[in-house]
Amino acid sequence: MATITLQNSSLMEVTILSNTFIDNYMPEANGEFVKVYIYLLRSLSNAPVSFSLEQMADRLLCTERDILRALKYWAKQELIALDFTDSNKLCGIVLLSPDGQKQTVSSVSASRETASAADQPAVSPASASVSVSAPETSTDEASVKQKQELTPDRIRELKQNEEIIQILYIAEQYLGKTLTPTESQKLLFFYDGLGLSADLIEYLLEYCVSHNHKSIRYIEKVAIAWAENGVTTVEQAKQSCSRYSREYFAILKALGITNRNPVETEVTLMDTWLKTYGFSMEIIQEACSRTVLQTGQASFQYTDKILEGWKKKEVRTLDDIRSLDSEHQKRRQNKKNARKPAAPASNNRFNNFQQREYDFDEYEKHLLNQ
């Protein structure tokens, strides 16, 4: 087979695409979504970086709706963050590097009005610059990230370990493919950084794959959660999974969903409700019931909005919810009363004479005496 030589004639005008993105994000993404993400990276190389969705759609030969759909997808993948105005119009995009760095694209205009025919900049020159800032991570997150950074010598040493060799082989069997360098390093991190045993890592792979989750990012989230919760044995992992599985399926049932497992985005939302918000199951099930009642369907997004609102109002019990409902009803009644002033007597042509007043009791007596 002939050897093909690939050369780059210019070292200028280069857009760098992270290997982490290629290995972990790109395979699962729609091709149009990947195109939008790469265009955003390309935009970072130029200043100013203000543009409209209309301009972006014209450049990529697609619709503005396609652009918005792609942006929302990458926001869910936590590769970008979207900023909106009070009128719910997109006004800014923040690129979050897969490696943990945070790159800001300032004021990416989403409205057609910002891109005028005279090519006026959508924002001032000061705000149109591209800035790179250090990620805002907690101490625990920084510690985890530091543990992930295995030295080349340590990686070579670990790959000589019989347990590691077995783990990598088992992982390829479960995932049904040859591991990428990133995936191999993640597994080494589980073993050396998080301190998970070989048996526990094998069960980790079995558990995730059996629930239709083959993404190394999802597997890593579960591994870190186990480590943070002090899970060190397969038995403890089974107990932890059983508890959360019961809660997941109880929530699905409350939304009217049966005969299927939750998908990754649903698990992420449910973890937010259970762990981040710290809501009890009765609170979550109440939100689910209201979702079905109001929308007639199982909408995780609608339920999330309800619970997010309750979190902001520091709801902890069903009594707190009843109190909020009562206050809401009072406000609605007050507004309703304020909107209904006493109607003045009409003086139109159908009501322009003195109305007769009858005493029906007297009239009845009069009729009976006749």
Together in a domain, 58 and 141: no
Together in a domain, 276 and 297: yes
Distances (CA, A) of 314 to 236, 273, 310: 32, 13, 6
Q: Which two tokens stand for residue 14?
A: 């280069």
Together in a domain, 78 and 26: yes
Q: Can you say how many angstroms the Cα of residue 102 is from the centroid of all Cα atoms in its chain?
A: 17
In a domain, 327, yes or no: no
Per-residue pLDDT of the chain (370 residues; tens, 9 = 90+): 455 554 545 445 678 888 888 888 888 888 888 999 998 888 776 544 566 788 888 888 888 888 888 888 888 888 888 887 777 788 788 888 775 443 444 334 433 333 333 333 333 333 323 332 333 334 444 445 445 567 888 888 888 889 999 999 999 999 999 988 888 889 999 998 899 999 999 999 998 888 778 888 889 988 998 888 888 899 988 887 766 678 888 899 999 988 777 777 888 899 889 888 999 999 999 999 999 998 888 899 999 999 999 999 999 999 999 999 998 888 888 887 777 665 555 556 555 556 666 666 666 666 666 5
Together in a domain, 177 and 263: no
For the whole model, what pTM was predicted?
0.40
Q: What residues make up the domain containing 259? A: 244-321
Output the domain CATH number for residue 312.
1.10.10.630
Together in a domain, 148 and 74: no
Last residue of a domain, one of 211, 232, 253: 232
Together in a domain, 194 and 147: yes
Distances (CA, A) of 253 to 249, 250, 256, 289, 332: 6, 5, 5, 10, 32
In a domain, 281, yes or no: yes
Together in a domain, 151 and 214: yes
Residue the block writes with tokens 């973890």? 271
Number of structural domains the chain divides into: 3
Encoded amino acid at 217, one letter: R
